[in-house]
């Protein structure tokens, strides 16, 4: 099975970038996907770019794995987002995190 990666993206207002997934489970989550070749960090960066449109991501570090997923933290100086993607139906920056979120709030902050 392919490795899963997540990109936890924070902006200068200490907000986290989340997408509301259209596939099950339909929850808010950081951008992410599968490693298709190459390194996990490259895959996390690629998924964040593809799903959100943000190109300028600064790696802050790797977080502890969550349920087998590699998790990378990024800083994004921009707030401009892509507003359409087949894998989600909503996107936004959040200071207060929604309840239906995965990984849990305590892990993301």
At 106, give phi and psi (nearest 5°): -65, -30
Residue 74 reports pLDDT greater than 70: yes
Domain ranges of the chain: 4-95
CATH class of 4-95: alpha beta
12-21 residue pLDDT tens: 999 999 999 9
Its pTM stands at 0.89
Residue 105 is predicted with a pLDDT of: 80
**C-alpha–C-alpha distance, residues 37 and 20, integer Å:** 26
Q: Is the CA virtual torsion 98, 48, 62, 36 positive or negative?
A: positive
Token digits of residue 92: 């936004």
Q: Is 67 left (phi over 0), alpha (psi -120 to 50) or beta?
A: left
Instruction: Give the rounded distance of the alpha carbon of 18 from its chain centre.
Output: 6
């Amino acid at each position: 099975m392919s490795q899963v990666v997540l990109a936890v993206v924070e902006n200068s207002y200490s907000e986290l970038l989340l997408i509301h997934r259209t596939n099950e489970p339909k929850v808010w989550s950081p951008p992410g996907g599968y490693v298709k070749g190459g390194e996990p960090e490259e895959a996390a960066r690629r998924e964040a770019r593809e799903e959100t449109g943000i190109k300028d991501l600064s790696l802050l570090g790797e977080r502890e794995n969550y349920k087998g997923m590699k998790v990378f933290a990024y800083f994004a100086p921009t707030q401009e987002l892509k507003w359409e993607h087949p894998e989600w139906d909503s996107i936004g920056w959040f200071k207060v995190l929604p309840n239906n979120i995965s990984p849990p709030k305590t892990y993301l902050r």
